[in-house]
Structure 1
Amino acid sequence: MDSLSADNIPAGFERAKFSSPFLDMAGPYYERQGEGGIIVATRINEGHINHIKVAHGGVLGTLADVALSYQVHRAEKPALPVATMNLNTNYLAGAKLGDWVEAYARIDRISKRTAYCSGQIVCGEAVLMTMTAVFAILRK
């Protein structure tokens, strides 16, 4: 199998349980439970690559939003409906075709209506992005 094969997924990861037409196009995404929460990951494929042969910044930005919001979404049962109010991203390095990138997210503070989160996206030992976000919790 080549490095871009869907079967070449690190141990412990499974196809993410979330889906939408946009996320299906932007992914595929994978998840596993980590010590600090859910880790969301993807393998950089041809559709993610920009004109300078690295992953488009929007790919990493989308992964950041997905990972941070998913952490809040899964914070309670039943799952919380959330909407992004603010997302800050700091691009530190690029990802190349075939790279496996993982997003680590944590909830820093959560109230009845708002959640504050932070995290990072890594490829191996390299930190590609740091991020923070604020989410509206859309309780009924």
Structure 2
Amino acid sequence: MSTTQTAGFSPFPNQGPFLEHVGPILIREDGDELVLAIQTEERHANHRGTVQGGLLSTFADFALGRAIEADADDGKDRATVSLTVDFLKPAKPGDWIESRTKVDRVGGTLSFADCSLCVGDKEIVRARAVWVVAG
């Protein structure tokens, strides 16, 4: 991991025990854009030596939720209803992966957003989620 990659990033606060176990997830605010990142390691690899799809799905789900939460700015709890993940290219242990999210709509009940996970300028995952106001 280079200093250039980590510049401006800090650990995401209160990410919860599961993400602390697989992460840490890092955050950088880039103007209006919230950028999250994870430094992959050997422990994230599957039997083929590439990063496990479940980790990438988890990271995309977390990034989508944080983007919706930031866009809504209403303090309401939300939960994933639907998550669609397309794996475009494999990631390898040692890759620095960043998320880029776009919130399409935050409604009173449902919210919709898209996410790309990238290694450098190469998109490796594309995800879309629907979230619901919980409770």
TM over 0.5: yes
3-state SS of the aligned residue for 2:61? helix
Alpha-carbon separation, structure 1, partners of 2:104 and 2:72: 15
3-state SS of the aligned residue for 1:75? helix
Alpha-carbon separation, structure 2, partners of 1:81 and 1:106: 19
Alpha-carbon separation, structure 2, partners of 1:11 and 1:49: 25
Residue of structure 2 equivalent to 1:49:
45
Give the superposition deviation at 1:75. 2.4
Check 1:92–1:36 CA distance in 2 against 1; reply closer, same or farther (3 A cut).
farther
Q: Any conservation in 1 of the 2:84–2:129 contact (CA below 8 Å)? A: yes
CA displacement 1:61-120 (0-9 Å, x = unmatched)? 001000000111222445331100000011001111111000111110111111000020
Alpha-carbon separation, structure 2, partners of 1:103 and 1:80: 23
Letter in 2 for 1:12: G
Larger helix percent:
2
Alpha-carbon separation, structure 2, partners of 1:78 and 1:133: 19
Percent identical across equivalent pairs? Answer: 27
Alpha-carbon separation, structure 1, partners of 2:6 and 2:83: 28
Check 1:36–1:118 CA distance in 2 against 1; reply closer, same or farther (3 A cut).
farther
User: May I ask how many residue pairs the two structures share in their alignment?
Assistant: 135
Q: Following TM superposition, where does structure 1 have runs of at least 4 consecutive aligned residues deviating by more than 6 angstroms?
A: none
Query: Is residue 34 from structure 1 mapped to residue 30 from structure 2 by the alignment?
Result: yes
Q: Normalised by the size of structure 2, how large is the TM-score?
A: 0.90
Counterparts of 1:33-112 in structure 2 under 5 Å?
33-112=29-108
3-state SS of the aligned residue for 2:71? coil
- Coordinate RMSD, CA, aligned: 1.9
Check 1:17–1:78 CA distance in 2 against 1; reply closer, same or farther (3 A cut).
farther
Give the superposition deviation at 1:34. 2.4
Alpha-carbon separation, structure 2, partners of 1:102 and 1:86: 22
Give the superposition deviation at 1:36. 4.8
Unpaired segments ≥5 residues, structure 1: none
Letter in 1 for 2:126: T
Residue of structure 2 equivalent to 1:11:
7
Letter in 2 for 1:71: A
Alpha-carbon separation, structure 1, partners of 2:31 and 2:4: 23
